Chains A and B, each alone.
Chain A
């Protein structure tokens, strides 16, 4: 028995580009050493301009995503308008801190575009928001992806270049983590569209 965050495995990464934002995740869903499926979704489109990536205990990923969906739907109904990405980022921090003494075992990354400007925020499991860097990682393979990101990343990449950089960082990092991998999915968000690319990795 290792950690609660290592039970299911999985890695996520988010990067900022020039007027665009990218998220990538692996596709493995495991139970410690076994792999259950290789098509588990970890990045969710909350709104046209907001993506939420979650890593950690899969049951909490699902619960937390459902909670955020509920919050944004209620917000849309009550306020009759879309939620801004910075507002959503603060909402995630508050929702996590509310459970300070009985936390959700998730480390989320929120990515969005606000008036064309990329927003990226990551959190620890109790809601410490960190939104200063140009890339954020999460999950069991996170530390390995950090290394790859530091090497490959450049500021102000175009959407096509960003898609490559984030894909390579994810795949390089997950190759070193036994609990992540079995494919990768890259999401690139611009003002006009969301592109989803399912990567071919060593074991898909």
Chain B
């Protein structure tokens, strides 16, 4: 059956060789560590002539903040961006995969990518995986049908609406959006509204925090502002920073590998070596 293994290997996609072993370990009682999730508050708002998307920048692993300043806004095409909540690895790799897929399609067809194409491709991919690919996305872009905003859930459901929010902080953000959204906003008003909605998510939700990223997509182009607002910058500096003198930590042995000479030598003279 060697040829089958080779065929599957060259086909690409997911590798399931460890699944049986992992199931056995789980049955024996071992628990996995939590994957990095993006807790998250993400929002999208349509304005007159384009769409604005905003996200917070905290990534969590269980209750620890794994990344204080991660990027949750991913470009899928020059005119379409995605904001992602859910399992961070899935978001990063799926968005990279779709970015490449859409680029290839644009090269073949010489046509701008459309938002409804992205939604169809995404949902047809996600549905067969029954929600196990944990991506909850807000897709926003501008194409020949005008500005569009949709949200896609991990099971493959999608919804088009002039304003969206997703993630653990979505309810906090939705409160702001429901109260203050109206049709015919200007670009700056939409950006301000999106930032306010993310702010609500950052302060009310434990899974969201740090800074706000914003991207505004119009016919003229894309305006990406990384860390446009920093609510949680370090407010104090260490008064007397730690300073360790050289060779402070005692060592048993010390080696040096020189790259140019490609040789390994043991260093003995400079410091107290305890045998």
A interface residue numbers (CB < 8 A to B): 1-5, 7, 45, 48, 93-94, 96-105, 107, 123-130, 132-133, 143, 146, 151-152, 154, 160-161, 163-165, 167-168, 171, 183, 186, 191-200, 204
Q: Which residue of A lies closest to B234 (CB)?
A: A150
Name the B residues within 8 Å of A161 (CB-CB).
Answer: 244, 246
If A2-B31, A5-B33, A168-B244 touch, whether A198 touches B18 (CB-CB below 8 Å) is no
A125 touches B21 (CB 8 A): no
A200 touches B35 (CB 8 A): no
0/1 string, B104-127, CB within 8 A of A gives 1? 000000000000000000000000
Closest Cβ–Cβ distance, residue B252 to chain A (whole Å) = 5
- For residue B274, CB closer than 8 A to chain A, the reply is yes
Interface size counted on chain B using CB atoms at 8 A: 56
11 contacts between A and B (CB under 8 A): A1-B30, A45-B257, A103-B22, A124-B66, A126-B35, A128-B92, A167-B249, A193-B258, A194-B259, A196-B257, A197-B254
Closest Cβ–Cβ distance, residue A50 to chain B (whole Å) = 12
Closest Cβ–Cβ distance, residue B129 to chain A (whole Å) = 9
A99 touches B246 (CB 8 A): no
If A102-B15, A102-B19 touch, whether A198 touches B252 (CB-CB below 8 Å) is yes
A100 to B17: give the CA distance in the assembly, Å: 11
A88 to B44: give the CA distance in the assembly, Å: 34
Closest Cβ–Cβ distance, residue A152 to chain B (whole Å) = 5
A3 to B28: give the CA distance in the assembly, Å: 11
Give the tally of cross-chain contacts (CB within 8 A).
Answer: 160
A103 to B23: give the CA distance in the assembly, Å: 11
- Interface residue SS majority, chain B: loop
Q: Which residue of A lies closest to B12 (CB)?
A: A98
CB < 8 Å neighbour of A168 from B16, B133, B249, B259:
B249
A161 to B238: give the CA distance in the assembly, Å: 18
A194 touches B257 (CB 8 A): yes
A198 touches B253 (CB 8 A): yes
B88 touches A124 (CB 8 A): yes
Which B residues between 239 and 275 are near A, CB-CB below 8 angstroms?
241-242, 244-260, 267, 274
- Interface residue SS majority, chain A: mixed
B32 touches A4 (CB 8 A): yes
Beyond known contacts A2-B31, A100-B90: 16 more, CB 8 A cutoff: A1-B30, A5-B33, A94-B93, A99-B16, A101-B132, A102-B18, A107-B33, A124-B88, A127-B92, A127-B93, A146-B64, A151-B242, A192-B259, A193-B257, A196-B257, A197-B254
- For residue B70, CB closer than 8 A to chain A, the reply is yes
Q: Which residue of A lies closest to B246 (CB)?
A: A160
Closest Cβ–Cβ distance, residue B130 to chain A (whole Å) = 11
Q: Which 3 A-B pairs have the closest CB atoms?
A: A102-B18, A102-B19, A1-B29
A8 to B29: give the CA distance in the assembly, Å: 15
Q: Which residue of A lies closest to B71 (CB)?
A: A132
A197 to B273: give the CA distance in the assembly, Å: 11
A125 touches B30 (CB 8 A): no
0/1 string, B11-43, CB within 8 A of A gives 1? 000111111111001001111110110000000
B250 touches A164 (CB 8 A): no
CB < 8 Å neighbour of B59 from A1, A5, A130, A191:
A130
A100 to B238: give the CA distance in the assembly, Å: 41
Q: Which residue of B lies closest to A148 (CB)?
A: B242
B33 touches A125 (CB 8 A): yes
A101 touches B256 (CB 8 A): no
CB < 8 Å neighbour of B256 from A125, A127, A195:
A195
CB < 8 Å neighbour of B89 from A127, A195, A204:
A127
Q: Which residue of B lies closest to A158 (CB)?
A: B246
A3 touches B67 (CB 8 A): no
Name the B residues within 8 Å of A171 (CB-CB).
Answer: 249
CB < 8 Å neighbour of B14 from A99, A143, A167:
A99
If A4-B30, A100-B90 touch, whether A198 touches B68 (CB-CB below 8 Å) is no
Name the B residues within 8 Å of A193 (CB-CB).
Answer: 256-259
A151 to B243: give the CA distance in the assembly, Å: 11
If A101-B132, A164-B246, A199-B252 touch, whether A128 touches B33 (CB-CB below 8 Å) is no
